[in-house]
Structure formats: structure tokens, C-alpha cells
Amino acid sequence: MSKRNLAALFTILSFCFAAAGQRPRAITADPTQPGTTAPPPAPPSTVTAKYEGGVFGYPHKQTGTLTIDESSGRLTFRDEKRKELFSIPFGSLTGAYGDVHSVQPKAASVISNVPTLLALPAHFVKTKVRYLTLQFDDPDSKVAGTTSFKLENQQILESVLYAVATKAGLTKRGEAYVRKKD
């Protein structure tokens, strides 16, 4: 086969593949549009959570419970003794999203720094940590900020996020919920 014939064959084949790339794509539902995905199940009345900081006047990490208080229109965090530490009114929420991080547990970190045969495998030990992150702007106290809570698993994170966003009147934008400006 001559170079001229080979070049012609290559040109014809390239046109065939280019034509195949010009086919129209099938229309699929946009998952960011309302009504295209089923809402997660309702969260339990109280959810165990670890407060990670962000609320003015409460700088320390603390384990407790989150309660979606529909009657008062707020999200309440209580310590392990069921004493209310703070609450965030639904009307002051401006954004909410769930986030997942892969982190190395402390025990694996310690083992990975000790010169033994277990040090190398310990570098690969990771766990997933799930956070509910809330942005708020309270018009009464003029305090704004971002706070986060570490939750147990993905299902609880999704259900609490959806419930809080729905009660606060937030709109879904991508993976987050935001309050639209009027």
C-alpha cells in the first residue's frame, strides 16, 4: 500500500470518527433541579453531634445533640447533660452543606511515626468524617459566622441537612443550600 493510499484511508477514517462525535446527546434530568431526586428520610428527633466551633461565645469543641425545634423555628445544640448551649434560628441561616473528609486516626498517626514494620501500613489507614456546615447571619444580634457539626454517618448527614435547609427556606444550588437574595 502506497503512502498516498494510506493517507487517504486515514483521512476517511478520521472523518468517520468525527461524524460519530456529532451525534446529539440524550437529555437527562438535572439533579440540581427541584423534584428530580427523592428527599432523604426524616432525621431522628435528636442527633448525636460534635460541635466543632464557629458560634460566638462557644469556642470549645464539645459532644452533644442537635435538635430541629420546629415549634420554635430553630436548630438547638445541647451538651451531654441536655443543657441548651446555643440555638440558631432558621431565619438566620444563609447557607448549609454537608462535607466529607478522609482523615488519619490518632492511633494510626502514632504508629506510623514509630519505626516498626507496622509504620508503612499505618500510613494508609483513613476514616471518613462527615460534617454539617452552617452559615448564619443573625439580624437581631448582628452576629454572623460559620459553624460545623461532626455527624455519625452519611444518611444522618443527608437527612439533617435536608430537614434544616427545608425548614430554613433555603434553595438547593449544586450540593449546597443557600438563601436567595430578594
Query: What's the rounded Cα separation, in Å, for the pair 157 and 151?
Result: 6
Residue found under cell 493517507: 7
Sheet holding 127-138, edge to edge: 84-89, 74-79, 62-69, 46-51, 143-151, 127-138, 93-103, 176-178, 171-173
How much is the pLDDT for 47?
92
What was the pLDDT predicted at 11? 75
Residue 51 CB: number of other CB atoms within 10 A? 21
CATH number of residue 65's parent domain:
2.30.29.30
57 is in which domain, residue-wise?
39-177
Q: How many domains does the chain have?
A: 1
Per-residue pLDDT of the chain (182 residues; tens, 9 = 90+): 677 776 776 677 676 665 545 555 555 555 555 555 778 888 888 899 999 988 888 888 999 999 998 888 999 999 999 999 998 999 999 999 998 877 767 776 776 777 766 566 666 667 788 999 999 997 777 778 899 999 999 999 999 999 999 999 999 988 899 988 76
Residue type for position 159: S
Measured at the CA of 17, the angle between CA 15 and CA 23, to 5 degrees, comes to 105
Pairing between β-strand 93-103 and β-strand 176-178 as defined by DSSP bridges: antiparallel
Residue with cell 448582628: 142
Instruction: Name the residue with cell 443573625.
Output: 138
- Residue 30 domain-assigned (yes or no): no
**Distance between CA 150 and CA 131 in Å, rounded?**
4
Q: Report yes or no on 26 lying in a domain.
A: no
Task: Give pLDDT, residue 56.
Answer: 80
Q: What is the pLDDT of residue 101?
A: 79
Residue 156 within a domain: yes
- What pLDDT does residue 76 have? 93
State the CB neighbour count (10 A cutoff) for residue 176.
17
- Residue 32: inside a domain, yes or no? no
